[in-house]
């Protein structure tokens, strides 16, 4: 004869579940959930909070959440291709175009999820949400990420008609004579710092290391001597002078464009460039990669 168990009796086959929260905390949180309309944003059977977070982080994931898998694969594939072109063409117009495409694709994926929540809203609200999302994706995600990469990982620098990708960070012990280094040039911060009518603009330099800390330099009309080893003269080097490179300083003669002929004498220009050539470790950014995506960068 079959036995019928009481409604509240625990089953031996299905052990009772233990809640991770107490009823007191659950009831106390109900007003908060209602105030932020959590169930309206994440209705049952629609989009879970975890799915929304994944959709925000991974371009194309939103279409998988919405059941449009083919479109999700297409968006993900185009995004990866644009990312590879962006990295390979850093510093060129193609990279700028791909950068915009990356931001647009990511924003479109998020907007597709937002429109599920805004299905009962008007067109104006949807357009406003799309524009705000586009600016948020750029300002809160991609712009900080690019800044982080340029400060800690790599950055493109233009040298004449060439673009070289520089690996950020370099050990002082690894710097040798003849190495190419990217470094910062501190210019005049206000007009009162002009020297004999000259104004130095801040920027980035990319030149060879001519001398290390402690090296003896001797300038002559015939050439530059570093510890009695002859090197060719660079533009605007002094015709006669001797000095010793200070400690924790590297001598890198800058390749600067000089405009506005007649401002200052050759001696004053040479003196100014000697100051720029004394590069401290804080000014050094890094050295160029030998190759970047199969493109040979250095001779």
What confidence tens digit (pLDDT) does each residue in 32-53 have? 445 444 444 444 446 777 888 8
Q: What is the mean pLDDT of residues 238-253?
A: 94
Structural domain boundaries enclosing 87: 23-152
**105 and 185 part of one domain:** no
* Residue 233 C-alpha from the chain's centroid: 37
Q: Which two tokens stand for residue 236?
A: 């605007």
Examine residue 13 and state whether it is found in any structural domain, yes or no: no
H/E segment holding residue 271: helix 266-277
pLDDT score, position 39: 46
CATH code at position 236: 2.10.109.10
The model carries a pTM of: 0.74
Q: End of a domain among 136, 152, 168?
A: 152
**93 and 170 part of one domain:** no
**188 and 291 part of one domain:** yes
**178 and 102 part of one domain:** no
Q: End of a domain among 96, 126, 152?
A: 152
Examine residue 5 and state whether it is found in any structural domain, yes or no: no
Q: Domain tally for the chain?
A: 2
pLDDT above 70 (res 130): yes
**196 and 279 part of one domain:** yes
pLDDT above 60 (res 29): no
Examine residue 17 and state whether it is found in any structural domain, yes or no: no
**290 and 172 part of one domain:** yes
H/E segment holding residue 206: strand 203-208
Residue pair 183/288 in contact (Cβ under 8 Å)? The answer is: no
Q: Which two tokens stand for residue 296?
A: 């040979």
**90 and 209 part of one domain:** no
Q: End of a domain among 121, 152, 183?
A: 152
The residue among 48 and 87 whose pLDDT is bigger is 87
**116 and 213 part of one domain:** no
Examine residue 214 and state whether it is found in any structural domain, yes or no: yes
Q: Which of 29-38, 50-59, 211-220, 241-250 has the lowest mean pLDDT?
A: 29-38
Give the confidence band of 199 by pLDDT, cuts at 50, 70, 90.
confident
**65 and 147 part of one domain:** yes
pLDDT score, position 253: 95
Examine residue 6 and state whether it is found in any structural domain, yes or no: no
**138 and 181 part of one domain:** no
Examine residue 18 and state whether it is found in any structural domain, yes or no: no
CA-to-CA separations, 44 to 26, 130, 220, in angstroms, rounded: 18, 25, 82
Examine residue 9 and state whether it is found in any structural domain, yes or no: no
Which 8-state DSSP code applies to residue 283? G
Q: Which of 48-52, 139-143, 277-281, 282-286 has the lowest mean pLDDT?
A: 48-52
For 219, phi then psi, to 5°, come to: -95, 130
Start-to-end Cα distance in the chain: 93
**145 and 198 part of one domain:** no
**194 and 272 part of one domain:** yes
pLDDT above 60 (res 7): no
Q: Which of 1-10, 41-50, 222-231, 285-294 has the lowest mean pLDDT?
A: 1-10
pLDDT above 70 (res 177): yes
Interior angle at CA 135, CA 130 and CA 141, nearest 5: 115
Examine residue 2 and state whether it is found in any structural domain, yes or no: no
What confidence tens digit (pLDDT) does each residue in 8-28 have? 454 554 444 444 444 544 455
């Amino acid at each position: 004869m079959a036995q019928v168990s009481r409604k509240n009796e625990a089953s031996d086959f299905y052990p009772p579940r233990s809640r991770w929260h107490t009823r007191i905390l659950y009831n106390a949180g109900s007003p908060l959930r209602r105030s932020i309309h959590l169930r309206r944003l994440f209705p049952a059977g629609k989009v879970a909070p975890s799915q929304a977070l994944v959709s925000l982080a991974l371009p194309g994931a939103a279409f998988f959440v919405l059941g449009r898998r083919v479109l999700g694969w297409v968006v993900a594939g185009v995004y990866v291709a644009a990312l590879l072109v962006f990295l390979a063409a850093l510093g060129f117009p193609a990279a700028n175009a791909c950068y915009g495409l990356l931001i647009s694709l990511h924003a479109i994926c998020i907007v597709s999820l937002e429109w599920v929540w805004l299905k009962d809203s008007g067109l104006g609200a949807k357009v406003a949400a799309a524009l705000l999302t586009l600016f948020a994706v750029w300002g809160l995600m991609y712009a900080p990420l690019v800044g982080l990469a340029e400060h800690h990982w790599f950055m493109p620098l233009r040298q004449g008609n060439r673009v070289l990708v520089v690996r950020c960070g370099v050990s002082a012990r690894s710097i040798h004579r003849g190495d190419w280094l990217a470094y910062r040039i501190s210019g005049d911060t206000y007009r009162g710092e002009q020297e004999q009518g000259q104004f130095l603009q801040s920027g980035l330099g990319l030149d060879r290391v001519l001398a290390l800390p402690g090296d003896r330099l001797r300038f002559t009309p015939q050439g530059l001597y570093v510890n009695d080893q002859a090197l060719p003269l660079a533009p605007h080097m002094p015709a006669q002078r001797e000095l010793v490179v200070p400690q924790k300083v590297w001598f890198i003669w800058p390749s600067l464009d000089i405009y506005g002929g007649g401002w200052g004498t050759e001696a004053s220009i040479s003196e100014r460039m000697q100051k720029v050539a004394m590069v401290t470790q804080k000014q050094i950014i890094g050295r160029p990669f030998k190759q970047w995506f199969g493109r040979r960068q250095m001779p």
